[in-house]
Amino acid sequence: MSSSLWLVLAGGVLGAGAAVYGMITLARTRRRRAGLYGLCFGLAVVLLSLASWLNSHDAAFPAVLALVAAICLGGVAVVRYRPRDHAS
């Protein structure tokens, strides 16, 4: 297995872990924003890994679609659901 495949697999596993953590946070706690933040970022990392894998297999158009979806999900996570300091 090449090093790029290992990187794609590691990114997919870590992203799936973050998404599962976000779902657990949504289901078991009242911290809705924190759960959605983890869920959106986890799915964005999974889509980014998918886009990298698709691009390496000469599927450019689906790779671009997955990349655009990953950027949108990451943007939603940062703009809408990022943790804010409520001390001020």
The full set of domain ranges for the chain reads 3-80
> Of the candidates 32, 60, 54, 63, which has an alpha carbon nearest to the alpha carbon of residue 24?
32
**Burial group, residue 17, by CB count within 10 angstroms (0-12, 13-18, 19+):** middle
pTM, full prediction: 0.89
What is the rounded CA–CA span in Å between residue 4 and residue 77? Answer: 26
Q: What is the pLDDT of residues 38-51, one digit of tens each?
A: 999 999 999 999 99
Given a cut of 50, the residues of the chain with pLDDT beneath it are 88
Enter the tokens of residue 29: 């706690």
